Chain A
Amino acid sequence: MNIEISNLQFTYPSGVQALFGVSLNINAGEQVAIVGQNGAGKTTLVKHLNGLLQPTSGHVRIEDWDTKEHSVSKMAHRVGYVFQNPDEQLFSKNVGLEVAFGPKNLGYTSEQIQALVKDALGMTELSDKTETNPYDLSPTWRKMVAIASIIAMATPIVIFDEPTTGQDAANIARIANVVKVLRERGKTVITITHDIDFCAENFERVIAMSQGKILLDGKANDVLGQAETLATTFVDPPQLTRLGKRLGLEQTVRNQAEFLAALKK
């Protein structure tokens, strides 16, 4: 399912304008990271994709559905959104019920729900925690429950809002694996992140936002190499990209394999 955003403007009821004419296409199956300074409009933008926010002007279309013409509950068939803060999302008394809630509401049969829940719990390494109350889990695992409950909805488009915030190395690796599995299944994945190394290692396309507009959009290496432009939206290039530049390597590198290969030359 293709995403088409045309000339999107959005002003909050308080009068604060957050988006100033964003136009953007994302094709089915793309893996896109959105980076940029706090308050750049990243979360505001992605909340338009499932209709949680409605454009003040402009349009957001998910394939043939204009978000203005469909309810949030209908948009949920196409777009899954994992909140930044899992505590805003979780409410069931155990992990199994929490993860089953989404597919149940999308009208899947009980057999389908069982299979979807099993798959989502497996992917997030939660299979041994189905009976646990989400609030008895550490914030790390609560984050995985929030992710699993969206994965289980099997939407063609999955959005993660800052998935790695406050996570340790092991959990970041788990989340990277979830992104990889979704990519292999042909899903569209859109991730907001400040973790620029995570972005560099897991996403092919990077969009940098600044003050409610798109500043840069392109292949990860092209975008992440532009240190000066990124600095205007408070983003540093990834560690190894910066190191490569300082060492005078010819091409922009963004992960360990690329860095070591370029160093050998």
Chain B
Amino acid sequence: MAIIDLQNVTYKYPLTDAPALKSVNLQVHEGEFVAVIGPNGAGKSTLCYTIAGFVPHFFKGELTGSVEVAGSESSKSNLHEWVLNVGLAFQNPFNQISGAKYTVFEEIAFGLENIGVPREEMKSRVEDALKLTGISDLADRSPYSLSGGQQQRVALTSILVMHPKVLVLDEPTSQMDPIGTREVFGVIRKLSEQGMTVVMVEHKVEWIAEFADKVVALHDGSVLLEGNPQAVLTSDLLTDKGFGISRYTSAARKAKELGMWKKDKLPVTLDEAVEGFSLTPNPSPQRRGE
């Protein structure tokens, strides 16, 4: 059974005319890692807010259709109950950090304090979470003294520490360095393998292809494509509609026109690109080991 079940969801923010989501259907199974891609304005953040209950409980506005997450129906629930099951990391960590805490350690404990977790358990959960995201060395710093990417790790950690069943991430690596990004994708992959359900908005196609189980392409408030990462991320539809695609895909598409890419399928990952380009008679297919 799906742990996230959106049926025919249409939503309008207050004081707006055009819906931000239009007849969206989305089913996500427990332990699945789903990546959501789309141009700016496609409704990606709104979809995150809907799964996390901020739409409509915080933003108000007009929602039709049904939203069911972890067995509760959004319209019959409230945000206090919702946060016990679903965690949302905001797109901009500046908007998420409480401003009420002097250290990273306390900031990460903030959510646990609010749900009344005993002190000793709280301490060990915060320490585990800091270790998981690799920021134990920042524990005593002020959240505001950190760089953008470090703040983003704090924002992510403060959600992970809550042990949500469903983790919703709105561009959680946008300010992170490249290898840090890959590490965070790896951590999230591991959590999903341990049973956490993940919905992650991202632009970084290469890592989506490596780590996600499924990709949902949103465009203009509707689901344009949905399926396995390889199929969705190499679709011609994406380039026509202004989605970002991997450099491997675009280089292979161009090479195909020039007769230098022999396979039917276009590559999304480095390994797929190496494999495909090695088939061309020129240059030598000799690989350097990695």
Contacts and interface: CB of A to CB of B under 8 A. Distances in A.
B147 interface: yes
A16 B145 CA distance: 9
A66 interface: no
B100 to A, nearest CB: 19
A20 interface: no
A87 interface: yes
B94 to A, nearest CB: 6
Contacts of A38: 147-150, 153, 175-177, 180
Q: Give the size range of B's interface with the partner.
A: 35 or more
A202 B260 CA distance: 26
Q: Binding site of B, secondary structure by majority: helix, strand, loop or mixed?
A: loop
B24 interface: no
A234 B177 contact: yes
A7 interface: no
Contact of B150 (A39, A166, A239): A39
Given A87-B92, A243-B251, A259-B251, 5 more contacts: A85-B92, A168-B244, A169-B39, A246-B290, A260-B258
Interface of A: 12, 14, 16, 36-40, 43, 84-85, 87, 138-140, 162, 165-172, 194, 196-197, 231, 233-236, 238-240, 242-243, 245-249, 256, 259-260, 263-265
B179 A231 contact: yes
B177 A235 contact: yes
20 contacts: A14-B141, A37-B180, A38-B180, A43-B148, A84-B148, A138-B40, A139-B92, A166-B174, A169-B203, A197-B247, A239-B246, A243-B277, A246-B287, A248-B288, A249-B283, A256-B247, A259-B251, A260-B258, A263-B282, A265-B282
A162 B284 CA distance: 38
Most buried by A among B141, B142, B177: B177
Contact of A36 (B177, B181, B246, B250): B177
Closest 10 CB pairs of A and B: A38-B149, A169-B244, A234-B179, A140-B40, A239-B247, A234-B177, A168-B39, A37-B177, A236-B178, A166-B174
